[in-house]
Structure formats: C-alpha cells, structure tokens
Amino acid sequence: MIPEALGHRKPEPEIFHAAAAVAGTPLDGSWMIGDSAPADIRGARGVGARSVWVSGGRPWTERDYRPTLTTLDTATAVRRVIAG
C-alpha cells in the first residue's frame, strides 16, 4: 500500500485504518513499529494503537507523547511485540 495513493500520509488516522483494513484486522490491540516519532509514534497514539519506537540509539525528544516501548533496532522491536 502506498500512502500517497490513498491521499493520506502518516500520522493521519486514515492511513492506519487503511492498513488495518488491508491486513484484515482491527486497530484495537494493534502495534506500530517505526523510527519516526511524529509519523509513526504520534500516528499510532492518534488511533489508539500501541507503539515501538526504533531509536537507533537516538534520544527521545518529544514532550507531548511517548512510545509504548523503545528498542534500538527493528528485529528487537518485532521480538518484543511477539513476546507480548
């Protein structure tokens, strides 16, 4: 799915709803794994999804919202989500 084809981009909620529809799953209980604080983490928060910020060693600087979890890399993020 290409966000621009939908006329929306993260963090707009429509892109998260469209992704859930394509996956055939509700957003309730979903996770967003990403490395962009404003697009991925703020976007997930806006639709009530949990989030994992892949920091790559960068410090978290946003004051208005926080990720559910933080990891250094994507593989660790996936393992943490699967582990529950």
pLDDT, tens digit (0-9, with 9 covering 90-100), for 27-53 = 888 999 999 999 999 999 999 999 999
Q: Tell me the per-residue pLDDT of 45-77, one tens digit each, with 9 for 90 and over.
A: 999 999 999 999 999 999 999 999 999 999 999
**Residue of 29, 41, 35 whose CA lies nearest to 65:** 41
Regarding pTM above 0.85, the answer is yes
Regarding predicted confidence, which is higher, 27 or 78? 78
| pLDDT confidence of residue 4 | 64
pLDDT at 53: 98
- pLDDT value, residue 1: 57
> Which domains, ranges and CATH numbers included, belong to the chain?
3-83 (3.40.50.1000)
Phi/psi class of residue 34: alpha, beta or left (left: φ > 0; alpha: ψ in -120 to 50)? beta
pLDDT tens column, 12-26:
999 999 889 989 999
Q: What share of the chain is helix, strand, coil (3-state, %, to 5)?
A: 40, 15, 45
